[in-house]
Structure 1
């Protein structure tokens, strides 16, 4: 009799990073939509506000942070990208970092007219 791994354990024997499948760090952030905005909260303890970089580029929020503990000779890094399915009012994005928690508010924008009309030729 051949035992086959169950669906939840089939990856255990593979030599692949768990982050490819979304397992790593999946509990360090929460993203939800309320009213007319997305709210993203990320647990980032141990970082100072000036060690965190946020950037918005074409529908993607990039969060990066780096902390060097010179006493221990260690470096802590964080990097994650979040893609948003709706138009975001780029000039209204705001962020706050308090007690090790980063909160980013991303108001949705009126989608307006997307694309352009294509003229149809023929008889």
Structure 2
């Protein structure tokens, strides 16, 4: 039986399940480190051109399609990851090396600090 993983820093003080980003299998890990989220996805056998990573309004989409003509097989992969904090859209980076896709999503701290001040009436 696997032991539950500890809550990440952003859920640590909240009454939320520590497995909000629980693995859907053994193919990915998602964690928060310093000022970014880091997602690693194991996709052995895919070429970088067969993978697509896109960002849309707080959701990261990872998709891939690989056809092995020699074996006559086709593999597809698709997962969506929703993020609870504002991400710096233009700073997201993805790298694919040795069958592992790594996506770094920097957190936009200034987004949490700014906003509209609401006047308090007395």
TM range, smaller chain: 0.7 to 0.9
Aligned to 1:101: 100
Partner-residue secondary structure (3-state), 2:113 = coil
RMSD: 2.3
Aligned to 2:113: 112
Deviations 1:76-99 (A, max 9, x none): 000000000100011110010000
**Structure 2 runs not aligned, ≥5 long:** 1-21
TM-score by length of 1: 0.72
Aligned to 1:67: 66
Aligned to 1:84: 83
Deviations 1:4-35 (A, max 9, x none): xxxxxxxxxxxxxxxxxxx9842110111010
Number of aligned residues: 99
Aligned to 1:33: 32
**Structure 1 runs not aligned, ≥5 long:** 1-22
Matched-pair contact (CA < 8 Å) for 2:23–2:29: no
Higher mean Cα deviation, 104-113 or 44-53? 104-113
Aligned to 2:16: none
Counterpart-to-counterpart distance in 1, 2:84 and 2:54 = 17
The Cα of 1:71 is off from its aligned counterpart by 1.4
Bigger-Rg structure (1/2) = 1
